[in-house]
Copies of this chain bind each other. A is one copy, B any other.
Amino acid sequence: MRLRLDLAYDGTGFHGWARQQDLRTVQGEVEKALDTVLRREGTALTVAGRTDTGVHARGQVAHVDVGEEELREAGRRSDDPPVTALVRRLNGVLDTDVRLRRITVAPEGFDARFSAIWRRYAYRIADSAAVTDPLDRGQVVSWPRVLDLPTMNRAGAQLLGEQDFAAFCKKREGATTIRSLIDLRWDRDAYGVAVARVRADAFCHHMVRSLMGCLVAIGEGRRNPRWAADVLLGATRDPTVTVMPAHGLTLEEVGYPAESELGARARESRAVRTLTPPR
């Protein structure tokens, strides 16, 4: 049987999601915890959004395949359902910078990576002393100049839709850089912090942070609002676009289709994007 894992982490202390020899990664820590709690070896997780070093997640989704007997054993000494007991036992083993929030038995055809129809990220910037909160400094970038969000939104609107985002992506041989950008919008939260909501079917490497760098240059007046569309048309990685710091970025949510469409969606995205793991 397949389990869906919903998890959250503070990316500060991790070398990103993907397992690496001798480096602390989210995948490495969670797989090790599953090995411990399920008394097995070599657990392999599949994830919706592989995040880079320092990037956070509030709504990350992964899946793992387990035997019914393993799961029953994990919840043996508990009155709770086995998946609830498993959440508690994993959180007991993991450090507090990564938390399992929910584990559910996945529906037929579910694949955390290939069934996903979109990924939503947030990017947070405190652009004046008045809105800077030291309690959130690990997840909000402090910026020395005030940003003009309406202008950034006008510029960003030109990037929406299915486009070749090569100009905003770190190049990978043989991988397509065509993506569908669904939302790209800045607003201020209740405290006045500038928050971008960025949603696409998937993202190529460094794409969100490069989009943010482009719009910030426009928002502080260093660049003309038309520059975003010009960069996009350039169609190769533009070195004048700054990749914004990792710690402002959080994977907030992953969208999946209704149960009946899970299998079809997985076959479809596997065909299109096998060579480009979502970032």
Binding site for B on A (CB under 8 A): 8-10, 56, 58, 87-88, 91, 96-102, 129-135, 137-139, 142, 250
Contacts and interface: CB of A to CB of B under 8 A. Distances in A.
A138 B135 CA distance: 8
Contact of A8 (B88, B91, B101, B134): B134
A186 to B, nearest CB: 19
A120 to B, nearest CB: 15
Given A87-B129, A129-B87, A129-B91, A134 B10 contact: yes
11 contacts: A8-B132, A8-B135, A10-B135, A88-B129, A91-B132, A96-B134, A96-B142, A97-B134, A99-B129, A99-B132, A135-B250
Nearest to A87: B129
Given A87-B129, A88-B129, A137 B10 contact: yes
Nearest to A250: B135
A26 to B, nearest CB: 10
A204 to B, nearest CB: 25
Contacts of A58: 133, 135
Nearest to A132: B99
Contacts of A88: 129
Given A8-B134, A98-B134, A101-B131, 14 more contacts: A8-B132, A56-B135, A87-B129, A91-B132, A96-B134, A97-B137, A99-B129, A99-B132, A99-B133, A99-B134, A102-B129, A102-B130, A135-B138, A135-B250
A103 to B, nearest CB: 9
A268 to B, nearest CB: 31
Nearest to A10: B134
Contacts of A8: 132-135
A133 B60 CA distance: 12
A134 B142 CA distance: 20
Contacts of A134: 8-10, 96-99
A133 B131 CA distance: 22
A101 B139 CA distance: 18
Nearest to A128: B101
A137 B132 CA distance: 19
Contacts of A10: 134-135, 137
A221 to B, nearest CB: 16
A138 B134 CA distance: 11
A94 to B, nearest CB: 9
A141 to B, nearest CB: 12
A139 to B, nearest CB: 5
Nearest to A102: B130
Nearest to A129: B87
